[in-house]
Amino acid sequence: MNLRPRAAEREQLAKLGGSAFGAGNSGTLIWNFTGPLANVAAHNLMATVTAPSQSATPIQVHASAPAVVRIEPPRGWLELRLGEVWEYRELLYFFAMRDIKIRYKQTAIGVLWVVLQPLMTMGVFTIFFGRLAKLPSQGLPYPVFYFAALVPWAYFSQALTACTNIVVDNQNVITKVYFPRLILPIAAVFSGLVDFAIGLVVMVALTLSFGIHPPATVLLLPVIIVLAVLTALGVGLWTSALNALYRDVRAVMPFVVQFWMLASPVAYPSSLVPARWRWLYGLNPMAGVIDGFRWALTGHGQPPGAAMAASAVGVAVVLIGGLFFFQRMETNIADRV
């Protein structure tokens, strides 16, 4: 078979290449022809047109092999693959931003709900637990005492609820596209930090209005915030994986959150707990977070001690166990959601 086009056809192609399309710097044009020129292009395997006045070397076109990505499940409990989370950090950012936008989409007052909810709860606690029950407030005004506990608690409860439902709510994405599933609960926890920051600003304004100036202990506030984030993430890893396997978890979570609030020093100071049981009470991670938050912002209350150390140990155990459990269940999540 003659692979070179005839002279007349070659001249016609050259004219088309020079006038209509332009022949590049090397005088070579690569194009996909249709119509009357399709036969010529088909005979010319590389579809190469060479201008008569220049010598050109035919371009060798090699089809590169497609990239093959092999996805394998974890081979053991100790294989966490945290490096993949960093590789998909942009996806993590977009998931978090999506959750923030959806939360306030088509709302009448938007982010004001972040302020109104704890403020209304603070008013109820101030009237019933403060004025009527006369519970101690560690020398703080009742509004400051209760709001200082409601800000971290509101973040924790919202992040835990979102974390629990995040895998099931994104089942359409999970069953079609591969990405590290660990990104979903992390994004749910990070998206709540915007609400937490707004509540923190209101908390500072409230303390200043009562004549309480933040002491030097406020420098330890980032440590306590990190402890709250890790607590929400550690517990959320367990509940999100279990919710993907058993839908009963979604129905149980409102009761768990309500019971957990009563077991935390939100409406009462932890000093009411007997001293011999305080270390056991400190195993509740939110007990150390709430006490530490009050103490860091106002200088009143119990400084971090045995209870805070117990809370930190409890958070570490829950977080590490949650990472291993979630990673192990990741192989079955796509089939169960």
pLDDT score of 7 more than 80: no
Lowest mean pLDDT among 96-100, 104-108, 221-225: 104-108
Distance CA 243, CA 247 (A): 5
- What totals of helices (H) and strands (E) does the chain contain, helices first? 14, 2
pLDDT score of 29 more than 60: no
User: Which tokens go with 144?
Assistant: 């400051």
What pLDDT, on the 0 to 100 scale, is given for residue 113? 78
pLDDT score of 155 more than 70: yes
The residue type found at 40 is: V
| CB 164 within 8 Å of CB 253 | yes
φ/ψ region of 150 (left if φ > 0, alpha if ψ in -120 to 50, else beta) reads alpha
Nearest to 206, CA basis, from 294, 90, 320, 94:
294
What pLDDT, on the 0 to 100 scale, is given for residue 327? 84
What sign has the CA pseudo-torsion 207, 208, 213, 218?
positive
| CB 224 within 8 Å of CB 311 | no
Distance CA 243, CA 251 (A): 10
Q: What angle do CA 59, 62, 64 make, to 5 degrees?
A: 145
pLDDT score of 2 more than 70: no
Please state the rounded mean pLDDT for residues 155-166.
Answer: 93
Q: What percent of the chain has pLDDT over 90?
A: 40
Lowest mean pLDDT among 143-152, 168-177, 200-209, 283-292: 168-177
List of E strands, the chain: 28-30, 48-50
Nearest to 147, CA basis, from 191, 194, 204:
204
| CB 61 within 8 Å of CB 46 | yes
What pLDDT, on the 0 to 100 scale, is given for residue 289? 92
pLDDT score of 162 more than 60: yes
Q: Is the pTM higher than 0.85?
A: no
Lowest mean pLDDT among 11-15, 153-157, 177-181, 318-322: 11-15
Confidence bin at 117 (pLDDT 50/70/90) = confident
What sign has the CA pseudo-torsion 229, 235, 236, 238?
positive
Please state the rounded mean pLDDT for residues 241-265.
Answer: 91
pLDDT score of 36 more than 70: no
Please state the rounded mean pLDDT for residues 118-144.
Answer: 92
Confidence bin at 151 (pLDDT 50/70/90) = very high
Distance CA 153, CA 157 (A): 6
| CB 241 within 8 Å of CB 325 | yes
Please state the rounded mean pLDDT for residues 127-136.
Answer: 91
How far from 281 is each of 156, 220, 272, CA to CA, in Å?
Answer: 18, 22, 11
